[in-house]
Amino acid sequence: MHDVPGADASSDKMAVNDETLAPDARWVSIGDDWVLELAGAWRGHRAAVPRLPASEVTGRVRIDADRLRSWDAALASALWHRLEPFARRQADVNLQSLPEGLQQILLLALGTAPPAANAADASSPGRVARLGIWFTAWWAQRRKTLTFFGEVLLSLGRWCRGRSDMRAADLAWQIEQTGPRSLPIVALVCFLVGLIVAYMGAAQLQRFGAQNYIADLVTVGVVREVAALLVGIVLAGRVGAAFAAQIGSMRANEEVDALATMGVNPVDFLVLPRVLALLIVGPMLTAFGALVGMAVGWLVAVVIYGVTPLEYVYASMQALTLPHVLVGLIKGTSYSVLVALAGCLQGMSAGRSAQAVGDATTASVVQAIVWIVVVASALTVVFQRLDV
């Protein structure tokens, strides 16, 4: 039998590789600090990580993983068991030497933040960074809103050119759902609020013996401001929330994606009918609400304060000028369109879960009311400047 040349050298090399790949962990004391040195390949191995009593640690705890070849969930679990007592005692645990994936797992399990984040929080650049993150998120939201408005305008342009995917039956259905079905709640709210406006205004006018001006107060106030604002708020709660829930549920069920896959523009098919429906029924509901408010004003003035019926009607006709009517209709139409845009925007932006759909529904109502208040203030200032 002859010896194979180089056999001993090959065996020695394999032994060295096995020793290098063997998992190893040991604690080393460096001054007041303790360092856990990890080496070798831990994937598939169940080697033990030595325990260091937390009471013996007075400085920092650091992990040296420069010689770590591979790791798996077993190493992550073992490290968590050994490091959790230090984290519980608020010790400074440095995990930066670990691979990124293992580091993130331990940070999450230990409930600690990366040292860089802690340093940033305590310094001025950290506050600037947080401000930048906030502004980036804010601008992303505004950009999403502007993009949605642009898509709606493009969809409206396609509809005007006869190239839209919107169906006339969908528009008629939305008009029926948002218009006639909203009449009872609009009538009730306008009746009650008109009663409050008429009664409170008449109580102040009676002090000066000016009951005859109740008609002027109620007519101008209801027609110009109150009816449009009440219709916008009612539509925000009844219609805008429904739009967000309907479209959000379709997104959660991937129906919106299915429309896009079939070549149907979701904005044309889902958003445009709803926006046009409220654009049509908005001024009608506003006019109806104004009539209800004027009627309840007549009831208060005639029954409670002794104004003759014909006198109230004549004073109302004198106060009801064309500019007041146009201002009220413009405001009611604007508020209705804002409600439709807010509901559709939140629905198209909703996540794909029941919780996300609920959040989108709530956000649509809040956003619509905020938009209504902002636009109401702006239009009031503009019309006053124009002396309308």
Confirm whether 140 is domain-assigned.
Answer: no
Residues 276 and 326 in one domain: yes
Confirm whether 179 is domain-assigned.
Answer: yes
Residue-wise pLDDT tens digits, 238-258: 999 999 999 999 999 989 989
Confirm whether 263 is domain-assigned.
Answer: yes
Confirm whether 129 is domain-assigned.
Answer: no
Confirm whether 163 is domain-assigned.
Answer: yes
Write down the pLDDT at residue 79: 84
Residues 313 and 373 in one domain: yes
- Can you give the residue range of the structural domain that contains 33? 8-121
Residue-wise pLDDT tens digits, 133-181: 888 888 888 898 999 999 999 999 999 998 889 999 999 999 999 999 9
Tally of structural domains, the chain: 2
- Closest by Cα among 241, 225, 246, 208 to 328: 225
Residues 295 and 171 in one domain: yes
Confirm whether 147 is domain-assigned.
Answer: no
Residues 304 and 174 in one domain: yes
The mean predicted confidence, pLDDT, of the chain is: 85
Residues 110 and 210 in one domain: no
Alpha helices, DSSP H only, in 161-271? 168-178, 183-206, 214-221, 227-235, 241-252, 255-261, 266
Q: Which residue has the tokens 């896959």?
A: 261
Q: Which residue has the tokens 């925007």?
A: 345
Residues 228 and 103 in one domain: no
Confirm whether 137 is domain-assigned.
Answer: no
CATH number of the domain at 74, please.
3.30.750
Confirm whether 380 is domain-assigned.
Answer: yes
Residues 372 and 223 in one domain: yes
Residues 76 and 181 in one domain: no
The Cα-based distances of 327 to 143, 193, 227, 341 in angstroms read 31, 20, 11, 21
User: If you average pLDDT over residues 332-336, what whole number do you get?
Assistant: 96
